[in-house]
Amino acid sequence: MIVPIKPLIAAIDTSDRDEADRLIAAVSSYCGMIKLGLEYFLRQGPSGLIVVNENPLFLDLKLHDIPNTVAGAVRSLAALNVAMLTVHAAGGPAMVAAAREAAETNATDAQRPQIIAVTVLTSLDASTLHSTGVSGGTTQQVLRLARLALDAGADGLVCAAHELPQLRDAFGEKPILVVPGIRPAGSPAGDQARVMTPTDAIAAGASYIVVGRPITQAANPGEAAREIARAIQ
């Protein structure tokens, strides 16, 4: 597996454009990508993405709808200089395939957004999945959705760090594996049910790790990002 030169993705989880701009300026030197999500995008719209400047953008909208609607959304987003874009694997193979095909519209493979399929949210555990009708635990569901998404053309997956060994064993080095729920040693888990430290996640096979509050809520976000980036070099 080839780990990116800067495998840290900083999650800028705010709806405020000025705050996003301040945080991105502080951390971008240490990050391979900047993540903006639904909260920010709904408040600021497409024009708000300019805050990332020259930084590659991971737009985490977790698209999940009928294939035609998702394809239209991806075509629209592909024009916004998005490097990676999330869809829900649970949307099914036709939806994932439609997203991949739409991403390729009027773009070379090097320029198009990478389609990253969300398997099981890191806020969910086995008991929560069971309450929604999914049996077999988180790992089985992650592997099931991962195979579905990758066979349909997804470039990679969002997964919890604890599923990394099983995913690498099952699918090898090719898929991009993006891992949220990352907490430096001593950090509170917050609303994440399945967490891991940055160094352990990279060692387990993560392509990118996503870190939010331990960076953005630090007294010095730039220093916090620098320390995490140093730890995973």
92-95: long-range contacts, CB 8 A cutoff, minimum separation 24: 92/67, 92/148, 93/148, 93/149, 93/151, 93/152, 94/67, 94/152, 95/64, 95/65, 95/66, 95/67, 95/70
> Would you say residue 3 lies in a domain?
no
Find tokens 């430290």 and name the residue. Answer: 197
Domain that holds residue 144: 8-231
∠ CA 115-120-124, nearest 5°, is: 145
Find tokens 């239209």 and name the residue. Answer: 72
Clarify whether 6 is annotated catalytic: no
> Would you say residue 22 lies in a domain?
yes
Query: Could you tell me if 13 and 6 are in contact, meaning their C-beta atoms sit under 8 angstroms apart?
Result: no
CATH of the domain at 150: 3.20.20.70
> Would you say residue 1 lies in a domain?
no
For residue 5, what pLDDT is reported?
73
Task: Look at the chain and report how many structural domains it folds into.
Answer: 1
Is this model's pTM higher than 0.85 or not? yes
> Would you say residue 2 lies in a domain?
no
Which of 35, 37, 29 lies closest to 9 in space, CA to CA? 35
Q: Which residues of the chain have pLDDT under 50?
A: 1, 189, 191-194
For residue 130, what pLDDT is reported?
83
Q: Which of 6, 35, 62, 174 is catalytic?
A: 62
> Would you say residue 134 lies in a domain?
yes
For residue 121, what pLDDT is reported?
83
> Would you say residue 124 lies in a domain?
yes
**What are the pLDDT digits (tens) for 53-87?**
888 999 999 999 999 999 999 999 988 889 999 99
